[in-house]
Amino acid sequence: MSRSIKISPSILSCDFSKIGKEVESLEKAGADYIHVDVMDGHFVPNLTIGPDVIKNIRPFSKKIFDVHLMISPVDKYIKQFADAGSDIITFHPEATENMGKTIDLIKKCKKKVGVSLKPKSKIELIKDYLKQIDLVLIMSVEPGFGGQKFMPEVLPKLTELKKIIEREKLNVDLEIDGGINFENSKIAKEAGANILVSGSTIFKKNNGDLKKNINLLRQN
Ligand code: DX5
Ligand code: ZN
């Protein structure tokens, strides 16, 4: 089954003095999802935003809020992120002692479940859970900062996951996150990604022409 390509701009690269307006502009420019990077200065060496900010920007768009939690331990914050208006809640296996429990917590909040693999994290960590989740997010940079260089060595993980998903007829999206640009978007799709996250390319290229950049990522 081939899925349509979705673009999920990361607001990590937006102007934080007008974050609501930026979300509104992304929707107008044709974004499919809004990617929200949550960092705790502990699981990753950077701090960003929490549930209150998500709650405040929620009214600015009806698009799916694709919330990427880079926080640990993650369980005690799931409900707050769900109540704030997240639609997909993605966590890292290393951020929980019990993946099954974290998946159940997200499902209990009636949200979609994503699991993310850092560049060095192996598929084996999540293989047994593929039937229970909605999305796998493959990191193509070390999580923590926008604007880093794409790591092509993670692409075989997408190819292998796609094979498993097709063989087992699973309903799981494959998302790639980190350093995506107009050149590597093609190989990411060919490897199996159907959702592309992008921060700096969307906000900084072509003088910040969001619509043009979203279209180019979708088409290339
Ligand atoms: C990194 C974040 C990414 C990042 C993407 O930890 O998860 O979402 O902001 O930004 P670019 O596209 O600039 O690499
Ligand atoms: Zn992210």
Q: Whose CA is nearest to atom 4 of ligand 1?
A: 146
Residue 155 lies in a domain: yes
Pocket of ligand 1 (CB under 6 A): 10, 12-13, 35, 37, 68, 141, 143-144, 146-148, 177-180, 197-201
Q: Tell me: pLDDT of 1 over 80.
A: no
Residue 1 lies in a domain: no
Residue 208 lies in a domain: yes
Distance CA 144, CA 41 (A): 9
Instruction: Using pLDDT thresholds of 50, 70 and 90, give the confidence band for residue 3.
Output: confident
Tens of pLDDT, residue by residue over 22-68, are 999 999 999 999 999 999 999 999 999 999 999 999 999 999 999 99
Distance 167 CA to ligand 1 centre (A): 30
- Number of H helices and E strands in the chain, helices first, is 8, 8
Residue 136 lies in a domain: yes
- CATH number for the domain spanning 50: value is 3.20.20.70
Predicted TM-score (pTM) of this structure = 0.98
Burial class (CB in 10 A: 0-12, 13-18, 19+), 153: exposed
* Domain ranges, residue 12: 6-219
Residue 199 lies in a domain: yes
Tens of pLDDT, residue by residue over 92-139, are 999 999 999 999 999 999 999 999 999 999 999 999 999 999 999 999
Could you give the number of structural domains in the chain? 1
Residue 203 lies in a domain: yes
Tens of pLDDT, residue by residue over 181-198, are 999 999 999 999 999 999
Burial per residue of 176-185, b for 16 or more beta-carbon CB atoms within 10 angstroms, e otherwise: bbbbbbeebb
Residue 52 lies in a domain: yes
